[in-house]
């Protein structure tokens, strides 16, 4: 997997430097909207898909992928088929 991410890339506002896994997960001040996490997609994200792998993560831990309207269902199905999907919420700017 290029870059070590199974579906393309992490949510851009959550991982400012994907090559450094020890980077604190504090979103930088965003000047551009986050981009969909689906491989090859460059559309603005409007959904937050929160998930965890129960074999690797504690129950309260959440990882996040973001999705555009077109890829929300596909990414949710991918996570849901594996039992990882926990919440799908509209992406809100903070």
Round to whole Å and give the CA distance between 79 and 39: 14
pLDDT in the model for residue 24:
39
Q: b vs e for 19-48, b when ≥16 Cβ sit within 10 Å of the residue's Cβ?
A: eeeeeeeeeeeeeeebbbbbeebeeebbbb
pLDDT in the model for residue 17:
42
pLDDT in the model for residue 33:
81
Domain definitions of the chain by residue range: 1-14+41-94
Other CB atoms closer than 10 Å to residue 16's CB: what's the count?
A: 14
Contact 11, 32 (CB under 8 A): no
In the 8-state DSSP scheme, what is residue 66? E
pLDDT in the model for residue 9:
54
pLDDT in the model for residue 57:
87
pLDDT tens figures, 68-78: 999 999 999 99
- Residue 73 CB contacts under 8 Å (≥ 6 apart), including other chains: none
- Tokens 């981009």 belong to which residue? 35
Stretches where the chain sits below pLDDT 50 are 1-3, 12-26, 94
pTM equals: 0.64
């Amino acid at each position: 997997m290029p870059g070590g991410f199974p579906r393309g890339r992490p949510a851009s506002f959550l991982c400012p430097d994907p090559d450094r896994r020890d980077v604190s997960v504090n979103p930088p001040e965003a000047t551009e909207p986050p981009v969909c996490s689906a491989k090859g997609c460059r559309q603005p994200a409007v959904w937050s898909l929160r998930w965890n792998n129960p074999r690797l993560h504690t129950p309260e831990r959440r990882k996040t992928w973001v999705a555009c309207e077109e890829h929300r269902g596909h990414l949710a199905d991918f996570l849901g088929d594996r039992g990882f999907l926990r919440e799908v919420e509209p992406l809100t700017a903070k």
